Amino acid sequence: MTLRGRLTSAFLVVVLGPVLLGAIFVALTVSAVNRDRTTERLDHAATTVSAAVGALCRQLQAAADAVAVVPAENRVAVADQLVARGLATTVDVTVPNQPLLGRAAAHSGNGTTGPLSCADPVPGGTATAFAAYAYADEVTVVAAQGVDPALMERLADAAGVAVAIGVPAPDPGPRTTRQLTAVPGQPLPLTLSVPTGEPTLRYAFLFLIVLVTAAVAVLAARWLARSTTRPLGDLAWAADRVANGDLDTRVPIPRPDELGRLAATFNRMTRELQSYVQALTASRDQLRRHLAILGDTLSSTHDLDRILPVILRTAMTATGARAGLLLLADPSDGRLAARCGAGLTGAWDLTPAELVQRRLPPGLGVLGTVASTGRPMRGTGGQSPDEPVCESYLAVPICAPPADPETDPEPGTLGVLALYDRLGGPAFEDTDLRTLRTFAGQAGVAVHNVRVHEEAQRLSLTDPLTGLWNYRYLREVLRREVERASRFGRMLTVLVLDLDHFKEVNDTYGHTAGDQVLGEFARRIRIGLREVDVAFRQGGEEFVVLLPETDAYGGVIVAERLGAAVRDRPVPVDPRRPGLDDRISISVSIGIAVFPEHGGTAQQVLDAADEALYAAKHAGRDTYRLAERVSRAGAEGHLDAATATTGGPQPPRHGHGR
């Protein structure tokens, strides 16, 4: 059963229960009152009838006495006067041995056994008259009163009930009767009766009142239950909508009662919840955007100068910090080097170029302690004078992920991520510490990945024996340098170097000695080049050198210098067998090609240098040769492209004036 049904039932029980009980009580009371009134009426009627008959008896006795006391000659006249005045129906005077006198003669032949005596009636007897007797001088005077309908009507009018002699025939309808037996002073056996009709109209009216009251109670109960449960139903409906995520739901406030205050409180709670959810949603969306930016940055670049500022600013946004600083440990001396900062004041309010020059010793202050111990720190004030000034701080270590969790459970500390002055609060909380640990972990992964990537890239692009760039990287750098030289109208010289008779070195001294020769040769190449020049090991004993912004004359100078550096100083080695010399004299053959003079593309220039190398070898080795010019059509095509790009031919650059 619903709450509305329970309230309706309770109201009906409370209202109709007393009404029904009251109706039953009234019905019983009315019935009892009717019975009491009937009994009382019959009692009054019996008293009245007895008194009336007794008065008649006394009246007859007075009449009889009056006739008896007068002289004999006047008795008849007196008797007639009494009858004429209605004091008796008949007055009989009886003298012994004489006929009846007076009016008795008119009433002596009525065929009855005689009237009932008022003084000594016969119980159960029947008569049509009752009389009083008087005696004087042997004369008997009988004053009788006839029992006729007129007398019964007078008695009924006086008593207010129906009066009958003896037991009357039953009348239609229920009646209540009272039997009056003959007693001295009331000689008549009478039956008094009144109708015993139930108060049907009253009962009908009472029933109608109950029905009307019940109808009103039902309507009132439905209205009361509806007015009480409808606000509760609205609250339940609104709570269900809010539970399903519809925070715009509001409950109407019908009246300023308790339910109205409850609805107002619910609406206020919903508005505050909606504002909280909106704030959380905005904060979540903002954090999601920052994490997306951070993820895009981490996935799209291996440049720490781009990754670390994004991590720092995301951490500041997530924790509400005013300022932040990110430092990485220098592998050479262990000092903390500032890599990026935001919101710093005082001595740390520096440009990015000035900020990266700051160094902090390990083990000192908050930052040094966090870096040396690997434990986060949080507090207010008390920092080292060399650190940023703040009211509160939070610093966590940036740790590299362990290479092997079983053998290396404690990852190394790569740096420190510090935040200063939490906005909107006196100090940083535990949630801020957990958040900053997350971003520090991302920073550690980013730094570790960048370093691993740089090392992997270096290993993939360098020759492990000589430390020079390998053939794979040669193709990329040569293409890039040719494009740059073509764009700016510059020259690019390519040298292809090959050690002479290197196979004999391997066959005579072994591959270990050959590797030593290759390593020494690469070292001498690096010494003989500028910082902008790039050297590669193309394969075996063949090497390539790129000389940006250098013409053929500069390339010849570099070739002569490298040839002399190799030729003049033998390479010390460990001989494989006794009797072998511990120094090996080597020489190099070099082919020279210049872009765009000897080729319009990277491959053409490299092929031209290879052909010049073969020419140097055919010329007896330990020398160099300059490649021949390309055909006129190819040269003009390239020169036209160069002219269109740079606006006109450019004079040759002699970067190598050596």
Question: Tell me: the pLDDT tens digits for 253-295?
Answer: 777 777 778 878 888 888 888 887 777 777 667 666 666 666 6
Tracing tokens 């109960």 back to the chain, one arrives at 221
Beta-carbon count within 10 A of 177 CB: 17
* Contact predicate 390/420, CB 8 Å: yes
Q: Give ranges for CATH 3.30.70.270 in the chain.
A: 462-646
Residue 652 phi/psi, 5° resolution?
A: -65, 145
The CATH class of the 462-646 domain is: alpha beta
Beta-carbon count within 10 A of 213 CB: 17
Q: Give ranges for CATH 3.30.450.40 in the chain.
A: 301-459
Beta-carbon count within 10 A of 153 CB: 11
- Per-residue pLDDT, 288: 65
Work out whether strand 583-584 and strand 101-102 pair parallel, antiparallel, or are unpaired: unpaired
Beta bridge partners of 192: 163, 178
Find the helix or strand (DSSP H, E) in which 222 lies. Answer: helix 200-243
- Per-residue pLDDT, 497: 95
Task: Give the alpha-carbon dihedral of 81, 84, 90, 95, to 10 degrees.
Answer: 20
With H, G, I as helix, E, B as strand and everything else as coil, classify residue 574: coil
**Max CA distance (Å), the chain:** 218
- Rounded CA separation 373/15 (Å): 81
As averages over each run of 10 residues, the pLDDT of the chain (658 residues) reads 68 74 76 81 88 88 87 85 86 72 39 69 71 81 86 85 76 75 84 75 76 80 73 79 81 76 83 80 68 60 76 85 89 83 86 83 85 88 78 88 59 85 81 85 79 72 87 90 92 95 88 90 91 91 94 94 91 76 89 94 94 94 88 41 32 37
Q: Starting at the earlier edge strand, list the strands of the sheet with 413-422.
A: 359-360, 336-342, 321-329, 413-422, 393-399, 377-379
* Distance between first and last Cα of the chain: 107
- Per-residue pLDDT, 293: 64
Residue 336 phi/psi, 5° resolution?
A: -85, 120
Peptide bond into 405 cis (omega under 30): no
- Rounded CA separation 642/631 (Å): 16
* Contact predicate 250/56, CB 8 Å: no
- Per-residue pLDDT, 294: 62
Nearest to 56 by CA among 164, 185, 149: 185
* Contact predicate 363/331, CB 8 Å: no
Q: Which CATH code, of 3.60.40.10, 2.60.120.10, 3.30.450.40, 3.40.190.10, is assigned to 301-459? A: 3.30.450.40
Tracing tokens 């020419």 back to the chain, one arrives at 615
- Per-residue pLDDT, 647: 33
User: What is the 3-state secondary structure of 510-533?
Assistant: CHHHHHHHHHHHHHHHHHCCCCCC
- Per-residue pLDDT, 211: 82
- Per-residue pLDDT, 587: 93
- Rounded CA separation 319/418 (Å): 12
* Contact predicate 297/310, CB 8 Å: yes
Does this model's pTM top 0.75? Answer: no
- Residue type for 338, please? A
- Per-residue pLDDT, 68: 85
Residues in the chain: 658
Cα 518 versus chain centre, distance: 73
